[in-house]
Structure 1
């Protein structure tokens, strides 16, 4: 069965943070202003909800459904693509979230590999993905690869071999690894109706040179306007300008990594830049200290403002 929404995904998608209250509860009231900020200030036309940046593995299934519904509601008519990540450690939970995403009008679903009981082979991973996709056959389906978190290093090129025979709704990959050999082979094998989306923000220019159709990343929440400029420069073959912007992004990320760049720090940086009240991360991730946040925001301002 072909997906109902079969638009090819291109451009930037922001991997959204999950707004929480000071008490650690999901705060849906921030999502409307969040969509306003992304569209009006950052020029973002797509979002990737409940992924790594959204702390999905620290959320309950019920919380993830509430978030998915609110994001779809607020982004409808304003975003080109709302892709919901539905991957879980449990196959049944993943299928439940996939069905729910179809019910609420999501534009696609993505699935990460289980990371406790890990698939040892491409075939095992493909079978897991097939079972999830079968729960929502009308939605475009994307495999979300992020080996630094899952510990699953199965080559993506092996996973996507003849995958439409198993998953007719398969429409691409969110490739969040640094192996450009594997990434290049994915692009080379990619079908015309697929989207290969690169997920390492500080290396996007390399991904574009290899043939990425677009990108999904956390820093696009607050640097999307600059990355859009980089993509435009690349498309017009102004490589000097494109490199200059990429190097600025790398300078900020490198500085943040030296200070301890994790989800908590990244979330606080988004709060500082956007003015949105996103709250703390959920334990065991620790909140970013005010002093650390100020150091990074000062670096951000020195580079981009």
Structure 2
């Protein structure tokens, strides 16, 4: 895969789970079947690797390299774009992963804000992003905005201000926040070759109305087929159908949240729905009780007849 400089990232992007063995080691053997499942069963042809859903901050740099390389290798010829998240608490580690993404011919990189020592201003965060991008200057670059996780609550729109002057190959934002005004301002500011990608799955339809070019999310691993239908309905002006599908997704997630929906539950739900063996999460995230996952999977099947 060559860097996708002229290929705007649109549509659905699955934020991939990291496959682990029952002993808690990364399980590269499951990546090939995982890619086939996404493309053949869900119609999802783009992936966001080593992000929040992928438990990146619980992985070593070496593990993240091994995973990124295998995702890129197995996706070649099967998927449109593989975006590798390379953000770390350490600038040095982030740069190392960015250099590696160039070597493995990823289609782009994304970077989250550091969240232990937090940037105090948008300028500080832009400077961090620039430093990471400087070692991979020809790769499409995305800012990953997720304030509920990082605690960095500055508007994403402020971070985007004049960012292309620092990062010539800046290509967009993965906006995983609830502030639709801030998201709308990002869309309004977007250059034609940028992508505004929304990351709160349960309110995607609202983001589409604001002008989202695509969406990145964990649930697209197992409801991607239906969300593709939602986006198609929206594109064709069938708001009632789009809303019907969005409400089903909200009902599923609302039910799951009442049972304690977190990354461990989400991963086990993916295991149950897909038939893949992605293993448990890594501590400190706790494994999901099987009966809890089965109850959510039953709810899933009652809402979505396909799969």
Task: Please give the range of the TM-score, normalised by the shorter of the 2 chains.
Answer: over 0.9
User: 2:149: which partner in 1?
Assistant: 149
User: 2:161: which partner in 1?
Assistant: 161
User: 2:251: which partner in 1?
Assistant: 251
Q: Matched residue of 2:110: which SS? A: strand
Q: Is the 8 A contact 1:184 1:210 kept in 2?
A: yes
User: 1:30: which partner in 2?
Assistant: 30
- 1:154-185 per-position Cα deviation (integer Å, ceiling 9, x unaligned): 11111001111111111100000000010000
1:86 and 2:93 equivalent? no
Q: Distance in 2 between matches of 1:4 and 1:203?
A: 28
Q: Distance in 2 between matches of 1:182 and 1:75?
A: 33
Q: How does 1:110-149 map to 2 (within 5 A)?
A: 110-149=110-149
The total of aligned residue pairs comes to 303
Q: Distance in 1 between matches of 2:24 and 2:234?
A: 41
Q: CA deviation at 1:5?
A: 3.0
1:97 and 2:97 equivalent? yes
Q: Distance in 2 between matches of 1:41 and 1:204?
A: 21
User: 1:193: which partner in 2?
Assistant: 193
User: 2:263: which partner in 1?
Assistant: 263
Q: Matched residue of 2:25: which SS? A: coil
- 1:96-153 per-position Cα deviation (integer Å, ceiling 9, x unaligned): 0000001001000000000000011100100000000101001000000001110000
Q: Distance in 1 between matches of 2:302 and 2:265?
A: 18
Q: Distance in 1 between matches of 2:202 and 2:68?
A: 27
TM-score (ref. length: structure 2): 0.98
Q: Distance in 2 between matches of 1:4 and 1:134?
A: 17
Q: Which runs of 5+ in 1 are unaligned?
A: none
User: 2:221: which partner in 1?
Assistant: 221
Q: Which runs of 5+ in 2 are unaligned?
A: none
Q: CA deviation at 1:95?
A: 0.3
TM-score (ref. length: structure 1): 0.98
Q: How does 1:7-46 map to 2 (within 5 A)?
A: 7-46=7-46
Q: Distance in 2 between matches of 1:93 and 1:87?
A: 8
Kindly report structure 1 stretches of 4+ aligned residues shifted beyond 4 Å: none
Q: Is the 8 A contact 1:6 1:140 kept in 2?
A: no
Q: CA deviation at 1:4?
A: 6.2
User: 2:175: which partner in 1?
Assistant: 175
RMSD value over aligned CA atoms? 0.7
1:68 and 2:68 equivalent? yes
Q: Distance in 2 between matches of 1:231 and 1:294?
A: 28
Q: Distance in 1 between matches of 2:120 and 2:265?
A: 33
Q: Matched residue of 1:12: which SS? A: strand
Q: CA deviation at 1:78?
A: 1.1
User: 2:231: which partner in 1?
Assistant: 231
1:54 and 2:60 equivalent? no
Q: Matched residue of 2:205: which SS? A: helix
Q: Distance in 1 between matches of 2:223 and 2:301?
A: 11
Q: CA deviation at 1:6?
A: 2.8
Q: Matched residue of 2:77: which SS? A: coil
Q: Matched residue of 1:14: which SS? A: strand
Q: Is the 8 A contact 2:4 2:108 kept in 1?
A: no
